[in-house]
Chain A
Amino acid sequence: AQSVAQPEDQVNVAEGNPLTVKCTYSVSGNPYLFWYVQYPNRGLQFLLKYITGDNLVKGSYGFEAEFNKSQTSFHLKKPSALVSDSALYFCAVRDITGGGNKLTFGTGTQLKVEL
């Protein structure tokens, strides 16, 4: 089965500093990976996705993610964090086994950006 793991429940970073939110994956076949963000009492917002061949993926709000096949990782990054980036971040993998099309999510990482 496809799965993703987010090893950190919470990440704290000072505003203006770079941030990294970690994600590792386990898939059979090609990985189809996504990052979503969730603000309080809101649904999930799509940030970016991995497309085969581009190891550095750029997304919304200045976020980017680095795909590393050898380390089976897809870490979310931003060069300079903002207080408004504070939210819950989810990594997800598309599970196409058996012809399905669902997303399997990690448990989420709470990002807290402080002044």
Chain B
Amino acid sequence: DTGVSQNPRHKITKRGQNVTFRCDPISEHNRLYWYRQTLGQGPEFLTYFQNEAQLEKSRLLSDRFSAERPKGSFSTLEIQRTEQGDSAMYLCASSARQGPNTEAFFGQGTRLTVV
């Protein structure tokens, strides 16, 4: 499978715990995005990397959230001190070329449940 891969697919955690998600983009893609989707809503942008550089962060990305892409390949999204409001589907996407009409390809997401 050469698509975007996300792990784990599901995560249940207790409030206050830290969690980390991983995203492996399509191998030749240099752009990587994280989105969050809650029930009944469209995905909301969290952050964007071009290679290893984090170029944009949403105001949704509080201080408890951090994302990295250390070698410009896979990326991790960490949430510290999770809250029930963090329960959502976290989606990763990647794209290859520059240009505003370049489509992004999404992974299957990691569903986080904070109890």
Contacts and interface: CB of A to CB of B under 8 A. Distances in A.
A51 B108 contact: no
B41 interface: yes
Contact of B103 (A43, A49, A96, A100): A49
Nearest to A107: B42
A26 to B, nearest CB: 15
A76 to B, nearest CB: 14
Interface in A75-115: 90, 92, 94, 96, 98-108
B106 A32 contact: no
B42 to A, nearest CB: 3
Contacts of A100: 48, 55-56
Contacts of A42: 108-109
Contact of A46 (B42, B100, B105, B107): B105
B26 to A, nearest CB: 12
B91 interface: yes
A43 B109 contact: yes
B2 to A, nearest CB: 14
B103 A46 contact: yes
A104 B45 contact: yes
A98 B45 CA distance: 15
Nearest to B42: A105
A16 B57 CA distance: 44
Nearest to B3: A43
Interface string B75-114: 0000000000000000101000000110111111100000
Contacts of B4: 43
A34 interface: yes
Contacts of B101: 32, 49-52, 94
Interface in B40-87: 40-45, 48, 55-56, 58
Contact of A106 (B33, B42, B58, B105): B42
Nearest to A91: B42
Smallest CB-CB A-B distances: 4 pairs: A105-B42, A43-B106, A102-B45, A44-B106
Given A43-B108, A94-B100, A107-B42, 7 more contacts: A43-B4, A43-B6, A43-B106, A50-B101, A52-B101, A102-B56, A105-B43
